[in-house]
Structure 1
Amino acid sequence: MSTHLDKFSSIASLLTAGLVFCIALSSSLTATSERPNIIIIMADDLGFDDVSFRGSNNFLTPNIDALAYSGVILNNLYAAPMCTPSRAALLTGKYPINTGMQHYVIVNDQPWSLPLNETTMAEVFRGNGYRTSLLGKWHLGMSQRNFTPTQRGFDRHLGYLGAYVDYYSQTYEQTNKGYNGHDFRDNLKATHEQVGQYVTDVLTDAAVQEIEDQGSKNNSQPLFLLLSHLAPHAANDDSPMQAPEDELAQFGYIRNETHRYYAAMVSRMDKSVGKVIDALARQEMLQNSIVLFLSDNGGPTQGQHSTTASNYPLRGQKNSPWEGGLRSSAAIWSTEFERLGSVWKQQIYIGDLLPTLAAAAGISPDPALHLDGLNLWSALKYGYESVEREIVHVIDEDVAEPHLSYTRGKWKVISGTTSGGIYDGWLGRRETSEEDPRSGDYEDLIRNTSVWQQLQLVSAGERNISELRDQARIECPEPATGIKPCLPLQAPCLFDIEADPCEQSNLYEEYRNTTIYLDLWQRIQQFAKEAHPPNNKPSDPDCNPRFYHDEWTWWQDEQASSSGTTGRMKIVTFFLGFVLTSRWFL
């Protein structure tokens, strides 16, 4: 009898254990399926004033604007002032000074990268059940294969590894060294299938396909997608401004040819945003998605790779310590937000996005990562703006151009600058006579976009477009303290950035001996003392694409595996170069 009872007890225990397991498994699957898809669309070198939700009618961005008005406009999102530091901060959740990524950018011929001991956002999400995809720009190292995206947490990469490419040929030319090669890959394989196609469209189509695959085949696994556009960055120096003819034709009212091309480049990217939202809607993924749009830094109005981008009325531009180089025009949308259709004035740093989006997905990053970024998900979700944010924008102790930019709360300190200060002014004022013909019916234009209509279906609510546009506009009246010049090459400058976002009134002389300024300066010195040395390395001539079938590639690995062949190719290349450039004829 006891044997039968024992058997019954054992069976009951097994059934109970099985039931508990099934419930746990079901619960786990439900938790996984309910985790939001995270879609980040990043523009490259887009000016702060180059989205029309900021108020400009020079050229319109109706799809980006519709996303912004439907969601939350991030009025104070700060990025690093250049591409590589900004992308490093996004993916690591750390200040560039703490990863050695603070000085300039990785030029294609330089053998360095985001340190391999740094954990990326893609690794965090993939480690928690997400499928991870990067479409477009990487720019965090390529001289070794293990520096590249699919070795750093991305399941998929379609795009380029270096700084930028031609919009049609996908080639990168480093004119000062005479290097020229193709730079476009599908995962680790060079692909030429896209040659002749406009790269904004290539990346958009890939994003749409990724979303459709996700929706139809793999919907139990959430998607982390970083659509990292080339647009509106300039292409190679021989043809920096490129846009399809049909897009260009819409902007004939703009007299300056460079600016006309720039408007078309931005406009094509704006259409990309619309297609991504449409794809999410078709796959019924919008309800459970977070969509973020931002730029990696301010736009370059003048100088190297300049495009006529405008950060006006903010001061400065890309690669400068001013607001115009640091503030990103950004917007985010999710059904989780309690205050959809609002302008959020909380300061947020690009490095905050890792812990913030992780929290949205119920992920707690390992404390051992020592993130500088803050988890602002609750503040964003409920719309409160009371977190005092400390942001190290840049501390670069380069001997030739030492400079720093630091904010705590409303106070901002600048010391030193870039390019001798020639881009320290207020650049990019628009021709007021040149207005997009659609601007007269602006609100109808926004409401008729598929973005607006699709987002309204899943998050209906009244939005006062005109009021939101006014709130997102930056005005620069003369400060109550008067105009007080800042000469950062002569002395530090101090600004009350809340009262004076355009950095017109330097308060350093008034506060230099107060605890307010001295505490800020002491904190800056502490960061500088503890900073990771810059990872930068000098150029390496072994990178020359001529040695690798005219492809930009992980040349250090190629050298290691075929040093003899590479050496012979170098000799042949040198000899041909000598013959072609000499006066001797054979």
Structure 2
Amino acid sequence: MSCHKRLSTETNNNKNNSNNNRVNNKKAWLILLLSTALAVANGQAEANGKPHIIIIMADDMGFDDVSFRGSNHFLTPNIDALAYSGVILNNLYTPAMCTPSRAALLTGKYPINTGMQHYVIVNDQPWGLPLNETTMAQIFKQNGYYTSLLGKWHLGMSRRNFTPTERGFDHHFGYLGAYVDYYDQTLMQNGKNYSRGHDFRSNLQVSHEHVGEYLTDVLTEAAVQLIDQHNATAKPLFLLLSHLAPHAANDDQPMQAPAEELAQFAYIKDETRRYYAAMVSRLDKSVGRVIDALARRQLLQQSIVLFLSDNGGPTEGMHATKASNYPLRGQKNSPWEGGIRSSAAIWSTEFEKLGSVWRQPFYIGDLLPTLAEAAGISLPPTLKVDGLNLWSALKYGYESVEREILHNIDETDAYFAYTKGKWKVVNGTTVEGAYDGWLGSRHATEIDPRAASYEQVIRNTSVWQHLQEVNRGAERNITALRQQAQLGCSELPGTPCLPLKAPCLFDIDVDPCELNNLYEDHRNASFFLDMWDRIEQFAKQAHPPANKPADPKCDPRYYKNEWTWWEDEQQAGDVGVGTGTASKCLCVNNLPFILFIFLATLTGLWL
């Protein structure tokens, strides 16, 4: 064989060997990649041990407007069935308004520590939850959860990076501002000559798909579809179903409900209250449908389900719905118990005392560390949350954790409210005392016809039946639980409280209705002076309010009559032509596949 032929043959053999080696290397890499992907998939399957967390939040619901509190004016059988099957939270506290309450929920911090303490974000104001704050959604997402917000946001929209999918939610379907019409999803801002703007999105995209449908039903259906389609093996679910109901809509038609729902409450003579009952009733049906969906997917055993309101109901004043916080003093946007105590209930198979009333004081900011503990998530100390991890206390049902709750310090309105143990101090008030009275009442004559067979109504709900099945038929004394969930107040008022003239002090354990002011009796007592010092410490460290004045450039007429992130649109020079939408992105909710593509690209396997 000639040297040329030998060299050619050896070259070809070397090429063949090189090709074979390359193929073998590719096969080895492919096996490694598939093994890695499989390991990740197995890790995801192990995440199935974490609980699914479902929070259903009402907007502006009165303390007495769930019938497990004892009212028979109208019934809420599904919410009641959840409450009696789980744990009634008799002392759950929230800030007195929407934006501060939602900020406290998602950050685990008092609003004074995030700048969210004064009033709410009005749609035309260019501010939001500070971007350096870590949200509950971010924490759960970072720890393997699929995070979804359905409904109200109200933590900023003037810039896109204020909005839910930029703050830890994988998915948002709902509205960004304060409230909308229940049917056309628009908001007409009071006192401004802005265009009436549409406010509803699917993630970052404007959505008109459900205009004409009742919003409570739209959000409920979205929750049911999410639960039905969620891959529970791959990731646990964190769902915040943040309803509009029973918040009022625009002032031209604030009370809205489907005709068939309204017809059930013809016995209620007051039209506003009749509509309110129907709005709450539709919300109650939503709770039932969510529980049904979890049961259908066999997810209840692994779920924590919480129902609460973001604050007390507005009986009078702006966006009044004649909600009742009976027998508590005050209402929404006030420092009194009627503004800051929420009717709430939670259910989990982890609880040892299901079918009980829990009297442990519990702040909405406690939910972040408490639910994180339930999910096996360790919060980094750098978060500096104000909330307490009360998972063990809730799980085992003990009520011995004495704690302080700073309800608020609002220097703009010149008031504060603070509780430590059984003592609550209030100094100053809101709206010049307009909401300082006892505004709610019980209706003795207008009674829901179903009340005559109340216990049977509860036991006939699918919620009761599903939860009893999971609880293995544990018996519940519904009548006794209902009685325990009611609050009692003194027959006769004691020393009056005039918060614009002097501080007020109450023993909330014996006087939840804030009838008897004990300030003069204890003003020099060491415990009161310690409380006062603590309040001053909070005030010195408070974050300045983040509120900003209105910006008329928000006007929806500039953005095809959509409420949108107008500061970004202005910066981009799109005023008058902007749609308020963003380009779509391709998102694959499958970590093993993404990992495979990424590694394959790096190693040259992806051809």
TM over 0.5: yes
Provide the residue aligned with 2:487 in structure 1.
Answer: 474
> Structure 1 CA distance, aligned partners of 2:397 and 2:162?
38
> Structure 1 CA distance, aligned partners of 2:148 and 2:263?
33
Provide the residue aligned with 1:584 in structure 2.
Answer: none
Counterparts of residues 547-566 of structure 1 (less than 5 Å): 547-562=558-573
Provide the residue aligned with 1:459 in structure 2.
Answer: 471
Counterparts of residues 47-66 of structure 1 (less than 5 Å): 47-66=62-81
Matched, 1:244 2:244: no
Q: Is the 8 A contact 2:41 2:234 kept in 1?
A: no
State the Cα distance separating 1:24 from its structure 2 match. Answer: 8.3
State the Cα distance separating 1:365 from its structure 2 match. Answer: 1.1
Q: In structure 2, what residue type is equivalent to 1:477?
A: S
> Structure 2 CA distance, aligned partners of 1:26 and 1:115?
35
> Structure 2 CA distance, aligned partners of 1:289 and 1:455?
11
Q: In structure 2, what residue type is equivalent to 1:323?
A: E
Matched, 1:423 2:435: yes
Which of 202, 212, 218 does residue 196 from structure 1 map onto? 212
Q: How many residues align?
A: 544
Provide the residue aligned with 2:158 in structure 1.
Answer: 143
Counterparts of residues 260-339 of structure 1 (less than 5 Å): 260-339=274-353
Provide the residue aligned with 2:229 in structure 1.
Answer: 213
Q: Is the 8 A contact 1:298 1:325 kept in 2?
A: yes
Q: In structure 2, what residue type is equivalent to 1:542?
A: K
Identity %: 72
State the Cα distance separating 1:431 from its structure 2 match. Answer: 2.6
State the Cα distance separating 1:422 from its structure 2 match. Answer: 1.6
Matched, 1:233 2:247: yes
In structure 1, stretches of 5+ residues that fail to align are 1-16, 568-586
> Structure 1 CA distance, aligned partners of 2:306 and 2:449?
28
Matched, 1:44 2:59: yes
Counterparts of residues 77-226 of structure 1 (less than 5 Å): 77-179=92-194, 180-214=196-230, 217-226=231-240
Q: In structure 1, what residue type is equivalent to 2:434?
A: I
> Structure 2 CA distance, aligned partners of 1:564 and 1:40?
38
> Structure 1 CA distance, aligned partners of 2:549 and 2:314?
25
> Structure 2 CA distance, aligned partners of 1:503 and 1:273?
32
Q: In structure 2, what residue type is equivalent to 1:193?
A: E
Provide the residue aligned with 1:539 in structure 2.
Answer: 550
> Structure 2 CA distance, aligned partners of 1:167 and 1:369?
37
Q: What is the SS of the residue equivalent to 1:521? A: helix
CA deviation map 1:213-266 (0-9, x unaligned): 11xx44321000000000000000000000000000000000000000000000
> Structure 2 CA distance, aligned partners of 1:307 and 1:543?
28
Q: Is the 8 A contact 1:32 1:222 kept in 2?
A: yes
Q: What is the SS of the residue equivalent to 2:188? A: strand
Q: Is the 8 A contact 1:559 1:566 kept in 2?
A: no
Provide the residue aligned with 2:362 in structure 1.
Answer: 348
Q: In structure 1, what residue type is equivalent to 2:533?
A: Q
CA deviation map 1:391-430 (0-9, x unaligned): 01010000xx211110010010000001111211111113
State the Cα distance separating 1:31 from its structure 2 match. Answer: 3.7
> Structure 2 CA distance, aligned partners of 1:511 and 1:428?
30
Provide the residue aligned with 2:450 in structure 1.
Answer: 438
Pick closer, same or farther for the CA change 1:442–1:511 going to 2, 3 Å. same
> Structure 2 CA distance, aligned partners of 1:533 and 1:279?
43
> Structure 1 CA distance, aligned partners of 2:59 and 2:406?
21
Q: Is the 8 A contact 2:325 2:331 kept in 1?
A: yes
> Structure 2 CA distance, aligned partners of 1:191 and 1:565?
19
In structure 2, stretches of 5+ residues that fail to align are 1-31, 579-607
Provide the residue aligned with 2:520 in structure 1.
Answer: 509
State the Cα distance separating 1:22 from its structure 2 match. Answer: 11
Q: In structure 1, what residue type is equivalent to 2:86?
A: G
Larger radius of gyration: 2
> Structure 2 CA distance, aligned partners of 1:22 and 1:259?
57
State the Cα distance separating 1:337 from its structure 2 match. Answer: 0.4
CA deviation map 1:168-189 (0-9, x unaligned): 0000001300221000000000
Provide the residue aligned with 1:70 in structure 2.
Answer: 85
Which of 370, 387, 395 does residue 381 from structure 1 map onto? 395
State the Cα distance separating 1:432 from its structure 2 match. Answer: 1.1
Q: What is the SS of the residue equivalent to 1:174? A: coil
State the Cα distance separating 1:566 from its structure 2 match. Answer: 6.8
Q: In structure 2, what residue type is equivalent to 1:158?
A: F
> Structure 2 CA distance, aligned partners of 1:123 and 1:259?
39
> Structure 1 CA distance, aligned partners of 2:279 and 2:447?
17
Matched, 1:450 2:450: no
4+ residue runs over 2 A deviation: 20-31, 217-220, 563-567
> Structure 1 CA distance, aligned partners of 2:363 and 2:105?
9
Pick closer, same or farther for the CA change 1:518–1:183 going to 2, 3 Å. same
Q: In structure 1, what residue type is equivalent to 2:531?
A: L
Q: In structure 1, what residue type is equivalent to 2:421?
A: G
Q: In structure 2, what residue type is equivalent to 1:309?
A: A
Q: In structure 2, what residue type is equivalent to 1:35?
A: K
> Structure 1 CA distance, aligned partners of 2:238 and 2:495?
46
Cα RMSD of the aligned pairs, angstroms, is 1.8
> Structure 1 CA distance, aligned partners of 2:42 and 2:484?
43
